[in-house]
């Protein structure tokens, strides 16, 4: 491996960086994962022998607006212009998208004269359900290869990064949205203010932006440190989102906690002039966050120690299996898997290979750890006794898909929130 790591997660304060949302200096360090490669920078066979760029991965807290964030910013063009995560390879994501679309069509009474826009629309996994219902859609997706996939599926898609300027350009062309979806994209945005301002411009006065983000409370409580990687610049609470929206004439009308991705928020954002009012759920969750200390460094202090402890328990489990002669593979060449493997130093000395359902990833190698990626069929062909589930957030789906592997005696190791072995 060509990555460098700190031996344990550092917990220290006083970093002189400014908050991405409110520009407050002097942020408190919550967790330091050392220097790691880009989580989705999968390698070709020829690239494995070349040096890999690595970047610091440090998590900090802004006590003013409560935003949890990393300090390093990698150029978006390096991260997103060629992207290998296709949402449609996940049955869970497709079901989630279908349910959201159907619910939104009913609640917003959408029809042939409406417009639904998704920012970071990926391969059209969500917009396809509106499109099938006869509702006009527009996807905005910066990854050229993924935007092409959406266009091939007849989903109108702009291959652009979303910002204030693009929103103004669309409005100049008389395009304004009844619904804007922004699923798991706000965390990736360097210019938070330009992005949120752009949503306000693109949204009709009566429109709504439906934003989904991983919830920082679940990340901390469930020790989901593998959710931290360079694409994820920010980790949101409702308090942080409320602060950000308020700065741009927007407000949170409603909020839901949803289980996807290990625990997420779905917030419904409106323009102030819409005449709508926040629902009681918003003040309730803001009160809850005040009580558990969303701005208080003390709430986050034990996170680094919990991460170190979880890593040691996982390594002890895997090394114990290996010492008894077990062969171990991994499932999911995911970004979170990259963080877990690189920080925990789990490489070819423990794992034989990785499998992934995405054909875009098969034949490549994992960043830093250089494990070969195969189709899930490889599990049945070689029958390793154990498989480390790196995409634990889709555990139910994957364990069901791998029923035959499990029936033959294969077992899955679930790393988070507690390393456990799942038998058939």
CA torsion sign for 231, 234, 236, 241 is: negative
Q: Is the pLDDT of residue 356 over 90?
A: yes
Q: What is the pLDDT of residue 84?
A: 63
Q: What is the pLDDT of residue 424?
A: 61
- Averaged pLDDT for residues 277-288: 97
- Averaged pLDDT for residues 363-377: 97
Q: What is the pLDDT of residue 76?
A: 76
Domains, the chain, ordered by start: 87-221+228-274 (3.40.50.150), 320-422 (3.40.50.720)
- Averaged pLDDT for residues 48-59: 94
Task: Give the confidence band of 13 by pLDDT, cuts at 50, 70, 90.
Answer: very low
Q: What is the pLDDT of residue 12?
A: 35
> Regarding predicted confidence, which is higher, 15 or 80?
80
- Averaged pLDDT for residues 257-269: 93
Q: What is the pLDDT of residue 11?
A: 37
Dump pLDDT digits (tens) for 322-347.
999 999 999 999 999 999 999 999 99
pTM for the predicted model, two decimal places: 0.90
State the average pLDDT for the chain: 92
Q: What is the pLDDT of residue 82?
A: 64
Task: Give the confidence band of 8 by pLDDT, cuts at 50, 70, 90.
Answer: very low
Q: Is the pLDDT of residue 93 over 90?
A: no
Q: Is the pLDDT of residue 9 over 60?
A: no
Beta carbons of 163 and 191 less than 8 angstroms apart: yes
Dump pLDDT digits (tens) for 153-210.
999 999 999 999 999 999 999 999 999 999 999 999 999 999 999 999 999 999 999 9
Q: What is the pLDDT of residue 83?
A: 60
- Averaged pLDDT for residues 45-68: 95
CA distances from 74 to 4, 117, 188 (A): 18, 26, 10
Beta carbons of 67 and 234 less than 8 angstroms apart: yes
Dump pLDDT digits (tens) for 203-252.
999 999 999 999 999 999 999 999 999 999 999 999 999 999 999 999 99
Dump pLDDT digits (tens) for 120-130.
999 999 999 99
């Amino acid at each position: 491996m060509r990555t460098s790591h700190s031996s344990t997660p550092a917990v220290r304060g006083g970093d002189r960086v400014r908050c991405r949302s409110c520009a407050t200096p002097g942020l408190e360090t919550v967790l330091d994962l050392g220097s790691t490669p880009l989580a989705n920078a999968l390698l070709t066979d020829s690239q494995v022998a070349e040096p890999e760029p690595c970047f610091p991965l440090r998590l900090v807290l802004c006590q003013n607006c409560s935003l949890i964030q990393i300090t390093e910013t990698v150029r978006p063009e390096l991260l997103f212009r060629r992207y290998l995560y296709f949402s449609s390879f996940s049955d869970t994501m497709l079901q989630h998208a279908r349910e959201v679309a159907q619910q939104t069509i009913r609640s917003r009474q959408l029809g042939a004269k409406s417009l639904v826009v998704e920012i970071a629309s990926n391969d059209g996994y969500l917009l396809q359900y509106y499109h099938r219902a006869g509702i006009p859609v527009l996807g905005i997706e910066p990854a050229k290869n993924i935007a092409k996939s959406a266009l091939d599926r007849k989903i109108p898609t702009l291959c652009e990064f979303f910002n204030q300027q693009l929103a103004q350009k669309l409005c100049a062309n008389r395009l304004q949205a009844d619904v804007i979806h922004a699923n798991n994209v706000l965390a990736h945005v360097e210019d938070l203010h330009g992005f949120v301002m752009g949503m306000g411009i693109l949204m009709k006065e009566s429109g709504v932006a439906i934003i989904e983000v991983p919830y920082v409370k679940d990340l901390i409580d469930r020790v989901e440190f593998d959710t931290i990687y360079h694409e994820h610049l920010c980790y949101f609470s409702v308090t942080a989102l409320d602060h950000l929206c308020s700065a741009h004439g927007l407000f949170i009308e409603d909020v839901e906690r949803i289980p996807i991705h290990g625990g997420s928020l779905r917030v419904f954002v409106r323009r102030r002039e819409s005449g709508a009012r926040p629902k009681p759920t918003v003040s309730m969750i803001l009160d809850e966050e005040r009580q558990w200390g969303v701005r208080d460094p003390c709430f986050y202090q034990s996170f680094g120690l919990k991460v170190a402890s979880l890593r040691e328990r996982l390594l002890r489990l895997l090394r114990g299996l290996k010492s008894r002669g077990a062969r171990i593979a991994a499932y999911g060449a995911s970004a979170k898997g990259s963080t877990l493997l690189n920080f925990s130093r789990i490489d070819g000395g423990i794992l034989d290979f990785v499998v992934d359902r995405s054909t875009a990833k098969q034949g490549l190698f994992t960043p830093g750890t250089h494990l070969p990626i195969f189709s899930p069929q490889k599990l049945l062909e070689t029958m390793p006794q154990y498989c480390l589930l790196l995409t634990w957030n889709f555990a139910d789906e994957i364990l069901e898909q791998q029923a035959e592997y499990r029936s033959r005696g294969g077992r899955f190791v679930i790393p988070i929130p507690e390393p456990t072995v799942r038998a058939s």
